[in-house]
Amino acid sequence: MADVTVSQRALGSKDEADPAAEQIARAIEKDIFAGRLKPGEKLGEEELAERFGASRHHVREGLARLILAGIIVKERNKGASVRRFGPDELRQIYEIREILQRQAALRIPLPAEAAAIHRLTLINEEFEAAAKQADFRRIHVLNDRFHTELFGLCDNDLLVSLIKTYMDLTYAVRGAAFANPRNLEKSRTQHRIMIQLLSGSDSWALAQICVDHIQITKDQYLAAIGGPEASRARIGVG
């Protein structure tokens, strides 16, 4: 309808301009999400250029995107490194995630149509299968797809993109969370409840569980790095 497709990534409509840089950016993203690159780790330009068989120019371009996305940081003349989150930064990020996910959930028309529920059911079954096999790569992908599909039911693509951006920001964190079988089980259960709620008409319940859902990884990370703050993590607007 509009003269330009709306919001491919967060808000920057990058289309598929500079595919090389985009490809490199995605690859680095993957490495970070998979835990192969840990927070604080250095990212040398030439090293990456060699690894991807691309010129340093494209590597720089790719890094620039990840910097703007907030996934990595760069100091002048000192190179790029995977971003390391402090407790306060993480608190802020999760607060934003809570806001966005709650509001997006509230905007999903209930009951949702059967086709959508079916799609989510299939994704979640795959998710559970991946969980059984402890296939962390697929777990991430499917978890991501589940939430994208779920929030995609609200009629605001830009909002969905924004949610995804902030989900990506915390992917490095979530790697550790999914390694814990108890958390994985909890995620699974909550996904199933979400699907059930889509058949009903209680938007508030759906919104609440979407918020509760991210507490798992939040508490996990705060406990890991912050220590005592984890118990103080009950803020929420109520």
Partner DNA sequence: TTCGCGCGGATTGTCGACAATCTTTTTGCA
Partner DNA sequence: TGCAAAAAGATTGTCGACAATCCGCGCGAA
Q: In the complex, which residues of this chain contact a second copy (CB under 8 A)?
A: 1-4, 6-7, 10-18, 61, 64-65, 67-70, 73-76, 83-84, 86-89, 92-93, 95-96, 99-100, 103, 106-107, 156-159, 162, 165-166, 169, 237
Q: Which does 68 bind (CB under 5 to 8 A by kind): a second copy, DNA, none?
A: a second copy
How far CA 188 is from CA of 9, 24, 90, 123, 195, in Å, comes to 27, 32, 24, 11, 11
Q: If binding is defined by CB under 7 A, does position 76 make contact with DNA? A: yes
Which C-beta is closer to a second copy: that of 6 or that of 224? Answer: 6
Q: Which does 99 bind (CB under 5 to 8 A by kind): a second copy, DNA, none?
A: a second copy
Which C-beta is closer to a second copy: that of 64 or that of 179? Answer: 64
The least CB distance from residue 205 to DNA, in Å, is: 47
Q: If binding is defined by CB under 7 A, does position 80 make contact with DNA? A: yes
H or E stretch at 62 = helix 56-69
Per DSSP, 41 falls in state: -
Instruction: For tokens 């699907």, name the residue.
Output: 195
**Sheet strand arrangement including 72-75:** 42-43, 79-82, 72-75
The least CB distance from residue 173 to a second copy, in Å, is: 15
Cβ within 8 Å of residue 59, ≥6 positions away: 21, 24, 45, 48, 49, 52
Q: If binding is defined by CB under 7 A, does position 51 make contact with DNA? A: no
